Amino acid sequence: MAEKTVQQKYNEVYGGHCDEGLVARIEARLRRELSDEDTTWIMQWRTAKSYAEILKLNCAFLRGDQELNPVHMGPPYAETTPAIPTLIRLQEYGLLTTASQPSKTEEPEWAQCACCPKWSWFSCRQRAYLTFLFPGPGELVTEEVFGEFVGHLMSDPRIYVTFCRGKTGFGRIPENWETHEHKKADTVEGVKDAEARCEQAFELEDPDILKHFSTETKVMDKVDPFQVCVLATSWDEEDLPGVVEQAVIASGVKRIFTS
């Protein structure tokens, strides 16, 4: 098996053939080369006058009306598609989703190691997670409702969760948490018992996340949101966004808008 080309890698994450034009546009954005259309779209984010407007723009990104948002240079991956209706509903309740992945276990694959010429059997499994911004107590969410939301998430045995905002941080998550587990072996039979190499796909507190979503009208300063990270306790959780939506409804969070 030859080393995968850039095109093949995009084909995998977009669930089949990925248009060469899309690949070229994403690669250009990663080099900070934005087209006039990209710049016009990003300016809509920069000039948003309310948190609701930002949430609506994120809905447009999730629906596929636009190809990028301030933290993603291309459309949502194919694996995200089943969760998109739930993710859009979460925006309505004020959850500005920034990253997610479903649980998945891949069959062992014979491939060349990325760091040496050796060929081996590789396997990977991923744990479901969801990260989002959620308004702190204030105009959009009352102190009582915020506390209820925190309580529902913190007490749910299906998830780990952290809340971070500046020097304020609390939650429930193992010290050695992980979102991916990789294994390799010389034989396909040996993969199951091979030593695992784990990784974390996100930071519990991203110091730049609010900069990405900043606006000329300082919307995020007024909302003063918490960064929330939700991680499935099981590698087999099938609907993590649905778990979060249950907590939203049970805690009485009000819709900010209806899409």
The per-residue pLDDT for range 115-133, each reduced to its tens digit, is 666 778 888 889 999 999 9
Which domain, by its residues, includes 135? 34-103+128-179+201-250
| Mean pLDDT, range 241-257, rounded to an integer | 97
Q: Which of 52-61, 118-127, 199-208 has the highest mean pLDDT?
A: 52-61
Answer for the pair 250, 242: CB distance below 8 angstroms, yes or no: no
Tokens at 136, concatenated: 């702190």
Tell me, yes or no, if the pTM score tops 0.95. no
Is residue 231, in this structure, part of any structural domain at all? yes
* Cα gap 109→105, rounded to integer Å: 12
Residues 6+ apart with CB under 8 A from 59: 88, 91, 259
Q: With bands split at pLDDT 50, 70 and 90, how would you rate the model's confidence at 1?
A: very low
For the CA atoms of 78, 61, 88, 129, the dihedral, rounded to the nearest 10 degrees, stands at 50
Burial of 192 (0-12, 13-18, 19+ CB in 10 A): exposed
**Structure-token pair, residue 146:** 């915020």
Q: Is 85 contained in some domain?
A: yes
Asked if residue 255 is part of any domain, the answer here is no
Phi (first) and psi of residue 20, to 5 degrees: -60, -30
Determine what percent of the chain is predicted with pLDDT higher than 90.
68
- The reply to whether 66 falls in a domain is yes
65 in any annotated domain: yes
Q: Does residue 93 fall inside a structural domain? A: yes
Cβ atoms 187, 19 nearer than 8 A: no
Considering the domain boundaries, does residue 1 fall inside one? no
Domains identified in the chain, total number: 1
pLDDT of residue 150: 97
Q: Is residue 54 part of a domain?
A: yes
